[in-house]
């Protein structure tokens, strides 16, 4: 069994890593690779937490509150990732 793509890259393009860690074959930054600003993430986190708490007490289906709970976890993960990247960059 042979691998047709096993040879070296002959296109002449080299991988370039931009400041956010996203790679591209050109020096142009990749669209959408810029992270959300921290104040926006904190605002979204507070809104999602309040919505999750309010919906947990409401007669609406639990799936709606669960969706906001998943949103809270996702935003929290983004904040942790941003914190770790910024603290790693300063050391």
- The domain segmentation of the chain, as residue ranges, is 35-90
Instruction: Please say if the pLDDT value at position 79 is more than 50.
Output: yes
- What does the alpha-carbon distance between residue 60 and residue 4 come to, in Å, rounded to a whole number? 55
* pTM (global) more than 0.85: no
Share of the chain above pLDDT 70, in %: 63
E-only strand ranges, 18-84: 23-24
């Amino acid at each position: 069994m042979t691998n047709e793509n096993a040879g070296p890259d002959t296109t002449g393009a080299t991988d370039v890593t931009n400041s956010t860690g996203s790679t591209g074959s050109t020096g142009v930054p990749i669209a959408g690779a810029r992270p959300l600003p921290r104040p926006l993430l904190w605002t979204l986190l507070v809104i999602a937490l309040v919505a999750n708490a309010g919906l947990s007490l409401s007669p609406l289906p639990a799936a709606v509150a669960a969706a906001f709970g998943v949103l809270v976890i996702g935003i929290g993960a983004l904040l942790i990732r941003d914190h770790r990247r910024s603290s790693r960059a300063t050391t």
